[in-house]
Structure 1
Amino acid sequence: MSTSLDAAREALRARQGSGARYDAPAAPATELAWVRLGTAYFARLLNALDDNALTAPSRVSGWSRRHVIAHVGYHARALCRLSEWARTGIEHPMYPSIAARDAEITLGATLPARALRSLFNHSEVHLNVEWRDLSDAQWDAPVRTLDGTGITARETVWLRARDIWLSAYNLDAGAVFADFPVGLRARLEDEQS
């Protein structure tokens, strides 16, 4: 890390004060940057849609854009539960079951447009707070995905990066793969091969 970048970070922390939250030094910085950029990208696409446009089909078979937005919001909440698990050591599953996850998305898709937009916004803020509350050691705490796969809290950030960018594409509101960060695209391609 460059000295000028370190100095800029220290200056920012001095301006923001002790009450501000920051990522732990051992946090997965690249993936967090992809998540935050992807969240802004998704938000820009969502904000360009009027409320009536939310009922249009998405690129996911059988899902409207409303379903994609509900999925994005509830996925963030599910990752919050895993982050809490990593932080406290008390098991907090992503979802009780696949059926419960699907029912949550189906119900979420029926929310009024304003509530659906708020779900997206508030869940993203909550997820960032949960991640910023993780210590260096907690990033490596074991948790499990919905299918029972053991991962670390660190890997939840990649799950979110992949999901937020693919959901932006699936929203069918103008996203193109060329807009994805190059490193993220390469990692997605590696997963496909």
Structure 2
Amino acid sequence: MRRTFEDALSWSAAGTELFLDAVAGWGEEQYLAPSGLPDWTRKHLVAHVAANADALGNLVRWAATGEETPMYSSREQRNADIEAGSQKPAAELAAWLHESADRLAVGTAALSSAQWNAEVVTAQGRTVPATEIPWLRSREVCVHTVDLATGVSFADLPAGFLAALADDITGKRGNAPGPALVLTAADTGDRWELLGEDDATAVAGPLAEVTAYLAGRPHTLTATDGSPAPTLPAWL
């Protein structure tokens, strides 16, 4: 793993600022525009990011107190919170977004070294040390800033974050069904392999495009033989 705890803290803070800057000053019209995610308006996406801050705050509380506090009581509750948030007026939704981000920042800043090493359980059921919380948050705010469809692209995200995200996604995709791939970031020399069905397809391009492809986002990649890059199954 080439990302460090300090890296994740930095990316989480930078990604949060990027997301908040992207939505600053929006009114109802901007919030109700489609996001880059199917069937979601920008309101849905902002509600999701605000709810994620509160959910990660539950893990911070778990690490701080030792009291088991899951991110969400259920997937149904998570989905209901996002849907309810998507119905909030613009000003109320913006307030939730900022207040939840502030609460998470205050909570993480108060954790001691021992508390950072406490074990918590993610929404996917993985048991991890609390030091993973900033990485989980950085993924949300960085990727979803792109999903807001305001012109921010993967190329605008930190290169270190992009490489770490590509590592993370290939690790998660490693045991899942899908095409066999050899991916090369032509601008950095980074390389990833996905074991899968049939012979491996070679795909190369800028790091930002490779990471966008792995994350299931719009990209410009083709295989090195000129054919379309294989379609990947869902990442999360």
Question: Please, which of 162, 165, 170 is the counterpart of residue 139 of structure 2?
Answer: 162
Partner residue of 2:55? 78
Name the structure 2 match of 1:54. Answer: 31
Structure with the higher helix share, 1 or 2: 1
C-alpha separation in 1, matches of 2:53 and 2:35: 19
Secondary structure at 1:69 match in 2: helix
Structure 2's unaligned 5+ residue stretches are: 171-236
User: Are the equivalent residues in 1 in contact too, given 2:119–2:130 (CA < 8 A)?
Assistant: yes
Q: Distance in 1 between matches of 2:9 and 2:58?
A: 17
Which blocks of at least 5 consecutive residues in structure 1 are unaligned? 1-26
1:97 counterpart letter in structure 2: S
CA separation in 2, counterparts of 1:170 and 1:130?
27
- Residue 182, structure 1, aligned to residue 159, structure 2: yes
Please give the root-mean-square deviation of Cα atoms over the aligned residues, in Å: 1.3
**What residue number does 2:148 align with?**
171
Q: d(CA) in 1 for partners of 2:163 and 2:123?
A: 25
Please name the residue that 2:130 is paired with: 153
Q: Write the distance in 1 (CA, Å) between the matches of 2:155 and 2:25.
A: 19
Q: Counterpart of 2:98 in 1: which secondary structure?
A: helix
Q: How much has 1:48 moved relative to structure 2?
A: 5.2
Aligned residue for 2:71, secondary structure, equals coil
Task: Give me the whole-angstrom Cα distance separating, in 1, the residues matched to 2:26 and 2:92.
Answer: 15
More strand by share: 2
Following the alignment from structure 1 to structure 2, what is the Cα–Cα distance between the partners of residues 178 and 147?
28
- d(CA) in 2 for partners of 1:49 and 1:115? 12
Instruction: Determine helix, strand or coil for the equivalent of 1:60.
Output: coil
Runs of at least 4 residues off by over 4 Å: none
Q: For 1:133 and 1:192, how far apart are their aligned partners in 2?
A: 30
What TM-score, normalized to structure 1? 0.83
- Kindly indicate whether residue 10 of structure 2 is the aligned counterpart of residue 68 of structure 1: no
Q: Tell me the CA shift for residue 190 of structure 1.
A: 1.6
Post-superposition offset of 1:30: 1.6
Match of 2:77 among 100, 109, 124: 100
What amino acid maps onto 2:94 in structure 1? R
Match status 1:30 vs 2:30: no
